[in-house]
Amino acid sequence: MGRVTVKRPVLRIVDGETRRRPDTLAAEEPLEIRVDGRSLAVTMRTPGHDVELAHGFLLTEGVIGDREDISTARYCDSLDDQGRNTYNVLDVALAPGVAPPDDSVERRFYTTSSCGVCGKASLDAVRTKTRFAPGDDPVTLTPLVLATLPDTLRAAQAVFDSTGGLHGAGLFRADGTLLVAREDVGRHNAVDKVLGHALLNGDVPATGTVLMVSGRASFELTQKAVMAGVPVLAAVSAPSSLAVEMARESGMTLVGFLRGSSMNVYAGTHRIVTEDAPLVGG
């Protein structure tokens, strides 16, 4: 398995003084995801939890909806110049009767760690229909609980402490209990790993949960949460306008700028309970 971190030499300059030393960097390597031997996507990711990543990716693309929809996942056809497996190609075999990805899902192009899988032909193609409607989830939570989530997620990011270069995502219960946290150079990969973990544990739809992300709430991350039936998405930074639109359409609660005791609730305010009463409005 590829390493999560690598050492590289660096020239350190502080107050005009220079010193050479090794620096710890977050590893970034390509992962090709194949379905039944057919290439579906290539993403730049931090090695590790690749099976979770593939399950989460296929879940959030609408290819699968249950862990039983995949029969096997194995590394293959990825050798270095010395004949060693690089573990950078993962082939997923769908269970009998599970339909392969259709043309609206198939992406035969490179995807970056920063933006994820982009460039679908139309917005309608991106708005994948979810099997799990988060709008029906009755869960509620308090601002006090929400305020604890960023620090809890940050404390779970062990690799970030040594590199400073990884995004984090965590799935929480409504009482603030952390269920799983994952790190990756790609924010979308971190979310796919978290949701893939939930799927493999039989926890999809992810009812009664909060998905916390360390960066901004993009449309793609919001769609991923919707596809897994997550009722609440929270981010330390801003959401995009399209993310807010999707959250409102799907009945999801979307929280941005979650920093300390302050936050903005952009959608689904009925789930946020303050002073023994839920908020009103969208």
Catalytic residue positions? Answer: 115
- Please, are residues 225 and 233 in contact by the beta-carbon 8 Å criterion? yes
Long-range CB contact pairs, 236-241, < 8 A, 24+: 236/150, 239/266, 240/216
Helices (H), 6-134: 50-60, 123-126
Q: Is the four-CA dihedral 14, 16, 17, 21 of positive or negative sign?
A: positive
CA–CA gap between residue 50 and residue 31 (Å, rounded): 8
- Cα gap 191→189, rounded to integer Å: 5
- H runs (alpha helix) in the chain: 50-60, 123-126, 143-155, 158-163, 187-200, 219-227, 241-250
Token reading at 241: 């306008």
